[in-house]
Homo-oligomer: A and B are copies of this chain.
């Protein structure tokens, strides 16, 4: 009886209620019936991003599509951008900017470390005329969380626009669009939102519109101006992914019912339990003090082929972890605990981790990880 347990950096597990909401009778998107759902979802998404002054656009694309949308909507040929690169997804900002001919300055942060806000200030001081700073809240390739709240005022001080990839941050870590004065932020459906992949969401704060209006890169499918006009009519410029939109409304109903603060607390609690569970097995965390609540990246123990463990667990037990990408290949195991995840899922994750390591010849007292997690979870009340 193999079941699928997705402890991956996305797609994450989908609640049956949400999955079945996708199977609802198809409706036409240019109808009051669809407009009502879309309008309500767009309002819910403001709650998700914690904004009252911004609006949220629903894109039919992956998170990368939303990143491209940000680049072409806030920049003009000749502009300079600053990018914080601490892994694969920070790198993607830099690649996108370069692809669109933008002069890009990258702050390269060591893998597993968070950026020092002072380095951002230094870069902004050194190169005058930077108009946009692209950052990543949670770098899923390394498991690091960056201190967006501290970075934002620095970016603002230098008059630049603050754009945040919070694809895996939103719905996991606290994210305060208005309070932190973020100009543009994005997320994807298949992460904290407990949805299948297919939708991305862009939150545009009112502070970003001047830049968007005057941006000079070509844009059509990604044009925020058209999305803004359409949203006023409770619709989208092009055909939306109707079934995913209906499912997302169900997912947002679940998030609203739990309360976004409780969602954040749940992730903090499960992440802490996972980290302690891993440490009790004698394992070392990759991101250390910068570890996000999205996933726990664990260093491969010496002599242990973690990619083989991951493959074996996936194929034989249905538990899916992921390994490292690119230069981190073979060096880490990433255990996601994002979205539709509860105490018992973390228990399963640690049980599988123990089993995988044990079968591969790594030695520890079997069950020690489980009892560590169990004591933390049972003795610590939710919240």
Contacts and interface: CB of A to CB of B under 8 A. Distances in A.
Contact of A221 (B6, B16, B65, B101): B65
Interface in A21-52: 22-32
Contact of A31 (B63, B100, B320): B320
Given A62-B239, A241-B197, A27 B10 contact: no
Contacts of A28: 6, 8, 11, 320, 322
Nearest to A241: B198
A204 to B, nearest CB: 19
Contacts of A364: none
A190 interface: yes
A238 interface: yes
A240 interface: yes
Contact of A220 (B32, B96, B198): B96
A215 B20 CA distance: 43
A4 B23 contact: no
Interface on chain A toward B: helix, strand, loop, or mixed SS? Answer: loop
Given A239-B11, A243-B19, A26 B196 contact: yes
Contact of A23 (B19, B197, B315, B322): B19
A279 B244 CA distance: 39
A29 B218 CA distance: 31
27 contacts: A6-B26, A8-B28, A11-B28, A11-B29, A11-B242, A12-B26, A16-B23, A19-B24, A22-B23, A27-B320, A60-B60, A60-B62, A60-B197, A61-B61, A63-B239, A64-B220, A64-B237, A64-B239, A65-B238, A99-B219, A100-B218, A188-B239, A190-B239, A190-B242, A196-B241, A196-B243, A244-B244
The quantity of this chain's copies bound in the complex is 2
Interface string A317-336: 00010100000000000000
A314 B143 CA distance: 49
Given A196-B244, A243-B198, A25 B11 contact: no
Contacts of A241: 62, 196-198, 241, 244
Interface in A198-223: 198, 218-221
Nearest to A29: B11
Nearest to A325: B30
A271 interface: no
Given A14-B26, A60-B60, A63-B239, 10 more contacts: A6-B26, A10-B239, A19-B23, A60-B61, A62-B241, A64-B221, A65-B238, A99-B220, A196-B242, A197-B242
